[in-house]
Structure formats: structure tokens, C-alpha cells
């Protein structure tokens, strides 16, 4: 971000545009790493259930420990999208929709950055390094382009010293039906509204316009498949005691996400060196989001995307250029995106065999065991659901609640009392666990369970009595 531009800058040229908006997303979206999470499978399975039943499940249809009990699937729209592409083209189709989301995200960041700095690829590369650990085929990824374009629209409205058109508030409706991160969308809109209130020469007009826009955003959020419960559920989720047990809810750590901290360090150095200048409210917004990301690493992508949208203006010297792309470039980019997405969907893609995708291990489960209660590895719950097997637990920790999840965590640490109680309560007949679950595997060995299958990913046991 060391090269800045003024109002006389040229429009984006074709080569950087193709690299930023088409090629980089294609490479990232084609990586098998996007499937390295067991939640991917149960999201697809949920979408398939919705497509089959033409309804949103408000009671758990998948597990045996929570069967028929309340469930609030706030990400149902994303699940329908993933399931639809999965039915059309398998994992290649899922990769195609991920690639499309990344293309839309990169388009927003590139077009905005090209208004302010010459090296518009720089914020994209920095952002990508920061968000790669969370680049998974899960609902949150589909909100990334919504977040980027949301910030774009808010910034453009501030440049015109007025609130965005009310129709813009409707973006909150798909957002609220895709992922609970819509809360950040509301908070960011509030920050820009506050900036308008303290900066606008006509504060009454600014207050009135942004208040109406904010109310429209709130109304748009309530247009969702779960009603009011879908709005408050993300807030309730944050109160669960089990959250520190889940990796993505743990504080950010340089040992687990070194690229994020590397990008953060370089960005801070550039800000100090180049003396980047932004409205103090925007600095407060970025710092606030950074604080949230440091407390819970799942929010690293949010601050990375917002910073990639906001910071380029701080490095500019002079007014930004008009945000426009030559019509020919638009057609070239659109045609290129269509071809690449079609190619991505048509090309077969298989997830790597690991704890999040133990397909060979699941295939080794004897048919007579499949309908019986199972004790499974946490990340294996999603693949079991997609295979038609009811799990003990899966990634829907908010649904299972603290009691079951914390009890399961004690079992994984080798608590024999908790293990015996679970086996008796649920009449567990077999187990499928990752090889890394050594304390729990040791319990099975001591309890006389029989090992019937094992591979590089995990092991299957059957209860002998």
C-alpha cells in the first residue's frame, strides 16, 4: 500500500483485474482445504433435508441424543445453496459456489482499493493470508462478499453525506438467513451512522436518515425462516459455557494462525510508516473488530475484510477516482468467471481422508451397526449424518447445549464415570473415533470393547456386552 493515487488515476487494467477477481479465487476455491471441517457435511445434509421436505427443520432430524428436540437452523439458506450445488455436481459444485463467493469478495476489495492505491492487489493478498484458516465451505464464507459490499455501500453513502437507499437494507435479509454474523453488519452500519452524526454539517438530517436506515436494517433481519428466534439465537449462543472448548471460539494465538498475526504486524508497520489517515470513527471500528478477533479467532476474517475495504483510503493522497470499470473489462470478467465456475463445477474434486472426512472408515462400518447408537469423534459427526448414520454429537453444539457437550468433553479427557454413564444412558453399541482420541480409546480398551477396524484416520470399536 505504499503507492497512492489521486483523482487522475486510470481505471483498473485487465491483467491485475483478472488475477485478483478470477485467478486467485479459482485457486483458493479449488483447494481441498475448504472441506477440512466436519461441519461441511452436516450443512450439506441439512440443505438436502430442506430440499426434500420443502421446510426448515425446527426439531433435530439427525442425531439420536437430541432427536425431535428443538433446533434453530439459522444458516438454512446457506445450507440449501451448498446442498443444491452438491446435488448438481458433488464436491466440485460446492467448490464452485465457494469460488463464486470469493470472486464476489475479491471484486469488492479490488474495485474499492483501485480507487485509492495503485497496488490494489496488496490488500487482497493481505486479506487472503489472514482469512485462509477460515476459508471453509461453511455458511460464514457466503457472507464474506455480503460484508465487503455492505462496507462498500456504506462508504459510498458517507462520501455523498447521506444514508444508503433503504433498498440497501434488504441485504440484511439474506445475511440473517445465511449466518449469525449479520450482527456485525448491523454494528458496522451503526458505526458509519455515528460517523455521519459527528461529521455531517446537517446533523439533524444525518440523524434522521441514518435512524430510518438502521430501523429498516432491523426490520430486514426479522425476515427470516426462524422468526424472532432466528434473530436472538446468535446472541444466546455467545452465552454458552462450552465455547472455550471449540477451537474457533478460542482467543487468537500466533501459534495457530501465524499468517493473521504476520499480516497484522505488517499492516500496523505500514500504517505508522505511511501515516495513514482515516476518520477516528473508522479507526475505532477497525480496532474494535480487531479486539473481537483477538478474543475469538473465528472473527479474524471479519476484521481482515473490513480492514481491506477501509484502510486503502487511509493510504491515499487526494480524492479517490470514480469507481468504474471499462464495459469491455466487465464483459471479459463476467465471461471469464462463468467459464471458470463451469469448469470448477465440472471437474471432480474429493476431500482428503482425514478426521473431518473419514469416508473410508465410515464405509468399513458393518451394516448391522449403522442403525445402532454410536459414540463418535466430534468432527466425525457431520460425515456420519451425511452417510445416514445418527451421531452422538456433531458440530451443532448450540443445539446440544452445555450439559451434553461438556460431558462429552470430559469423556474425551478419559473420565471413566462420564463414559460409563453415557454408555448406559444411550445404550451405545459401537464407537468411531479419530486416532488422536487416545484417552477415550484407552477407556474402550480397558472396558473390553473390541476393535474391528482401523486406518490412518481413526478406529472403530464394538461393545462386547
Assign 3-class secondary structure to 290-337. Answer: HHHHHHCHHHHHHHHHHHHHHHHHHHCCCCCCCCCCCHHHHHHHHHHH
CB 207 within 8 A of CB 197: yes
Model confidence at 28, pLDDT cuts 50, 70, 90, reads very high
**Residue 43, exposed/middle/buried by CB under 10 A (0-12, 13-18, 19+)?**
buried
**Single pTM value for the model:** 0.94
Phi then psi dihedrals of residue 366, to 5 deg? -60, 145
CA distances from 1 to 78, 274, 305, 331 (A): 34, 9, 16, 28
Contact status, residue 385 vs residue 49, Cβ threshold 8 Å: no
pLDDT at 15: 87
Q: What separation in angstroms does the CA of 43 have from each of 32, 39, 63?
A: 17, 6, 14
> 465 pLDDT band (50/70/90 cuts)?
confident
**How do beta strands 430-434 and 458-462 pair?**
antiparallel
- Examine the pLDDT at 10 and tell me if it is beyond 80: no
51 has a pLDDT exceeding 60: yes
Q: Which of 10-19, 118-127, 213-222, 372-381 has the lowest mean pLDDT?
A: 10-19
pLDDT at 323: 58
For 157-203, the pLDDT digits (tens) are 999 999 999 999 999 999 999 999 999 999 999 999 999 999 999 99
Report yes or no: 363 and 31 within 8 Å, Cβ to Cβ: no
- Report residue 324's pLDDT band, with 50, 70 and 90 as the boundaries: low
Amino acid at each position: 500500500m505504499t503507492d497512492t493515487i489521486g483523482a487522475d488515476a486510470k481505471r483498473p487494467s485487465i491483467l491485475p483485474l483478472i488475477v485478483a477477481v478470477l485467478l486467485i479465487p479459482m485457486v483458493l476455491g479449488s483447494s481441498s482445504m475448504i472441506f477440512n471441517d466436519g461441519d461441511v457435511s452436516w450443512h450439506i445434509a441439512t440443505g438436502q433435508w430442506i430440499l426434500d421436505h420443502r421446510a426448515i427443520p425446527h426439531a433435530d432430524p439427525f442425531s439420536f441424543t437430541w432427536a425431535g428436540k428443538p433446533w434453530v437452523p439459522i444458516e438454512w439458506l446457506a445450507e440449501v445453496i451448498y446442498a443444491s450445488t452438491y446435488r448438481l455436481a458433488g464436491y466440485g459444485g460446492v467448490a464452485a459456489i465457494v469460488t463464486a463467493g470469493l470472486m464476489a469478495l475479491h471484486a469488492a476489495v479490488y474495485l474499492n482499493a483501485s480507487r485509492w492505491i495503485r497496488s490494489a492487489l496488496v490488500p487482497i493478498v493481505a486479506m487472503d493470508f489472514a482469512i485462509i484458516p477460515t476459508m471453509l465451505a461453511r455458511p460464514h464464507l457466503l457472507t464474506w462478499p455480503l460484508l465487503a459490499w455492505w462496507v462498500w455501500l456504506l462508504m459510498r453513502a458517507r462520501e455523498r453525506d447521506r444514508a444508503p437507499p433503504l433498498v440497501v437494507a434488504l441485504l440484511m435479509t439474506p445475511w440473517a438467513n445465511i449466518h449469525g454474523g449479520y450482527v456485525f453488519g448491523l454494528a458496522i452500519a451503526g458505526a458509519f451512522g455515528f460517523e455521519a452524526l459527528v461529521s455531517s454539517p446537517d446533523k439533524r438530517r444525518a440523524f434522521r436518515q441514518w435512524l430510518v436506515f438502521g430501523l429498516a436494517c432491523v426490520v430486514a433481519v426479522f425476515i427470516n425462516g426462524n422468526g424472532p428466534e432466528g434473530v436472538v439465537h446468535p446472541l444466546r449462543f455467545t452465552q454458552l459455557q462450552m465455547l472455550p472448548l471449540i477451537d474457533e471460539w478460542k482467543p487468537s494465538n500466533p501459534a495457530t494462525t501465524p499468517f493473521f498475526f504476520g499480516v497484522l504486524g505488517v499492516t500496523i508497520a505500514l500504517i505508522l510508516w505511511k501515516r495513514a489517515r482515516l476518520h477516528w470513527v473508522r479507526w475505532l471500528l477497525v480496532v474494535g473488530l480487531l479486539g473481537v478477533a483477538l478474543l475469538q479467532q473465528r472473527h479474524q476474517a471479519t476484521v481482515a475484510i473490513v480492514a481491506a475495504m477501509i484502510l486503502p483510503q487511509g493510504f491515499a493522497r487526494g480524492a479517490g477516482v470514480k469507481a468504474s470499470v471499462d464495459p469491455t473489462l466487465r464483459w471479459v470478467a463476467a465471461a471469464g468467471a462463468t467459464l471458470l465456475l463451469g469448469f470448477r463445477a465440472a471437474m471432480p474434486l474429493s476431500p482428503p481422508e482425514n478426521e473431518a472426512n473419514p469416508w473410508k472408515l465410515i464405509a468399513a462400518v458393518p451394516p448391522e451397526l449403522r442403525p445402532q447408537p454410536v459414540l463418535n469423534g466430534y468432527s466425525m459427526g457431520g460425515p456420519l449424518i451425511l452417510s445416514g448414520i445418527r451421531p452422538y454429537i456433531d458440530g451443532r453444539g448450540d443445539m446440544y447445549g452445555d450439559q451434553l457437550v461438556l460431558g462429552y468433553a470430559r469423556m474425551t479427557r478419559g473420565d471413566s464415570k462420564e463414559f460409563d454413564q453415557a454408555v448406559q444412558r444411550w445404550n451405545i453399541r459401537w464407537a468411531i473415533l479419530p486416532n488422536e482420541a487416545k484417552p477415550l480409546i484407552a477407556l474402550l480398551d480397558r472396558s473390553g470393547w473390541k476393535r474391528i477396524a482401523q486406518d490412518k484416520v481413526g478406529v472403530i470399536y464394538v461393545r462386547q456386552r
